[in-house]
Every structure is written in structure tokens, then in C-alpha cells.
A = this chain, B = another copy of it.
Amino acid sequence: MRQSAYFFKTSKTAPKDDVSINARLLEQGGFIKKEMAGVYSFLPLGFRVLAKIENIIREEMDKIGANEMLMPALQPKENWLATKRWDSMEVLFKIDSQHGYQIALGPTHEEIVTPLATTVINSYRDLPKAVYHIQTKFRDEARAKSGLLRGREFRMKDLYSFHANEADLGHYYAIAGKAYDAIFKRLGFEAIYTEASGGSFSKYSHEFQVEIENGEDTIYVCNKCSLAKNKEIYTSESVCTNCKVSDYRETKASEVGNIFELKTKFSEALGLHYTAEDGSRKLVYMGCYGMGSSRIMGVLVEKFSDLDGIIWPAAAAPFQVHLIALAGKESSEVLASADKLYTDLQKAGIEVLYDDRADKSAGEKFADSDLIGLPKRIVISARTLSENSVELKRRDNSQAELVILNQIIKYLASDA
């Protein structure tokens, strides 16, 4: 992508009203724009990051046999009355249509997926099943804050699974947990498995928490095994479910996933049954497995940055290479070499952002490059060309190296 033609611009001005690292760097870097409190546009550069994260989630969900679908944001009020959440869910946006009815704007989709499952599941032969969707959800939060960490409108994956009994649910719950670990590993971080309140229908739920200074959750991590407890269920007498000792450290973290054994709570409220082998009608057991894709994008920035900007892990980076042409007014040779290298990189299947802007100084280009944080920077200039080379620098390393121009693609390919 040529930077001169890209719908993108960095800013020297930090956002006034949000001091979080992710809000500052993502807004200044031209990834996102705040439209109102807790509501962001994802500009093309930021959209690419979000799409990378969501594609990784998609691949790992497909691997565990879940089918992708799309559910509506507009949800019938009667479903929410049936589960008694129309009044009890504090963050529910309620819409009064001018045509005389009320609608819920989906913060979550149990009220949709459970009745939907009645059209697909009828017999024990239809179980187990799993579906997921990656889409925009809405919460009427009193205080949206910390950039992408807590929004009124946000991107989320939800997986829902359906089982004949509690044992089968438990089996899939463990599989889903492993898929979560695989997703986070591919994105370059580890999440802490954290016991949290299960609400009214389960002893525990489990959260996947990422340690960051700006995290809004407080968790207590077992010093022996790393199984953690959320503050809401932690007391000074707490012992680790795993180690049976009480040896904790307190830390701040952000929750990027939360999984629940819903069991029969929603199938009972919304009438989801199946016919067992003995002919009896039984309630379907359900699990739900949430993961915030836009929040993960914010967490990545909180974790991977320095004073100059973001340091994207390769799997989430919008492009792998930032190619910078330092062509003064009379160095058409530099521009020609850069243009050719840009074409060659694309042909080699390497995602490249090409800073071909004619009206920016070297200093401005380097500052922008550090800010947006692509994994590798290639500089081509009269000086590097005098040695028939380009300068290669990794964003997470201060050392630059000269690489012979006609070997750079091979070098990058072997390094991927």
C-alpha cells in the first residue's frame, strides 16, 4: 500500500480526554478515531489489525468444530423478558421504534441463539453442536474509558455450544479453553486463567486476564501454579483450587475472554429441549465463550509499546514491512529503486506499507514509522544505494543492518 494514497494520517496531538496508552497511540497513529465516548471508527490501518485478530480467532474456532454465523443486533424484547434480563441487565440499550414497539440492542446473544437452536436441535442425534459469531455488540455503559478496553460499541466473538449432558459440556469447555490459549499464543501473549463469579447459574466462570498496568480488573495470581482468582471471589482466606495453598500476588489485568457453563439456564427459559435415546424430552446444556477482539487490539498496544509508539507482534501487525524512501527532490534514482522494491515485495507476498510521500522529511517519516510500529522497517536512500543496499531495522531492536538490495526479499522470507 502506498502511503500517499492511503486513507490514513498520523497526528502530533494526543487525545485530550483519555490518558490510556492504547487510546493515545492508536488515535495518534491513525488506527482509530473516537466518534463519541466509547465509540470508535477503525480506519483502514486499524481495520487491518482488527481483521488479523479476528481471522486468528476464526481459524481457531473452526478448528474446534464451531460454525460461523451472524446474529442480529436488534433483538425482540419478548426474548429478554423470557430470560428476565430486560430489566436486570443494566447495560442494555433499549430502542423505542417510532412504530410503537421496543427492541433490545444486543450486548450478548443468548436470547437469540437459544431460540435459534430449537430450529436445529431436536434429537440427541443433533448434539453436540457449536456456533460462533464475530460482530459488533453494544453496552450502555455509564463510563466508557481506556480507549478500546471498555467501549459502548465494540467487536466481540461469542461461541455457543450445545450438549446432551453436563459431562459433554465440561469436555467441550476444556477444548474451548485450549483454543483460547492457542489464539493468545499466536497473538504473542499469555492470558492468566482466572476464576470468577459464575452469576446465578454456575459455581465459577473463567476469565482470561492479561496483566497490564492500565487493567481495570484486580486479580490474585497463585504464585505456585498461576491459576488466579478475580477480586470479586477473592478473600484473604482464599486457597488455590489447584494447589490448595494460599500464596497470591495481586495484579492489575484486563479481561480478554470469559467462558461460562450456562448449563440449562437459557434452555429452560427459552424452551430448548431434545429427545433423548429413551424418547424422553430433556433440556439442552449450553456453554458460552466470549472474547473481545477490539479489546485485544487495545491490550496488545498496552503491552507492546515504547515511548516512540507501538511494537506490533507480527500476527497482528497491519503490514509486515514499512518501506521508507528517502528521496530528496533530485533523487529520482532512489524513488525508482524504492518503487521497484515495493513491487517486488508485493509480488513476493510480503505485506508492505510504502512511505512514498514526497513532502515529508526523513525525521517525520521515522517518527511516523516508530509510532505505527510495523515489525520491520526498510530504508532506501542515496546513501544505502551507494552501497547497493537497504537499511533493515526491526521495531523491537535499536540495531539497524545493511542488506544487499537484491537479497532483501530472500532475507525477509527466510526470517519470517
Interface residues of A (CB under 8 A from B): 1, 4-9, 11, 30, 33, 35-36, 39-44, 46-47, 50, 65, 67-76, 93-99, 103, 105, 112, 116, 119-120, 122, 125-126, 129-131, 135-136, 138, 140, 142, 152-153, 359
A40 vs B76: C-alpha distance when bound (angstroms): 11
A129 vs B30: C-alpha distance when bound (angstroms): 15
Q: Is the CB of B119 within 8 A of A33?
A: yes
Q: Is the CB of B73 within 8 A of A129?
A: no
Which residue of the partner chain B has the closest CB to A8? B120
Q: How many copies does the complex hold?
A: 2
Q: Is the CB of B98 within 8 A of A140?
A: yes
Q: Which residues of B are found within 8 Å of A130, using beta-carbon distances?
A: 7
The binding surface of chain A is classed by DSSP as: mixed
Q: Is the CB of B72 within 8 A of A35?
A: yes
A26 vs B93: C-alpha distance when bound (angstroms): 30
Set B11, B30, B69: member contacting A41, Cβ < 8 A: B69
A126 vs B125: C-alpha distance when bound (angstroms): 59
Q: Is the CB of B69 within 8 A of A43?
A: yes
Interface centre among A9, A30, A43, A96 (most CB of B within 10 A): A43
Q: Which residues of B are found within 8 Å of A71, using beta-carbon distances?
A: 41-42
Q: Tell whether A7 pairs with B131 under 8 Å between CB atoms, given A68-B44, A69-B43, A138-B74.
A: yes
A97 vs B39: C-alpha distance when bound (angstroms): 14
13 A–B contacts from the bound complex (CB under 8 Å): A4-B125, A7-B131, A9-B120, A11-B119, A35-B76, A40-B72, A43-B69, A73-B73, A73-B136, A74-B138, A93-B95, A96-B96, A125-B359
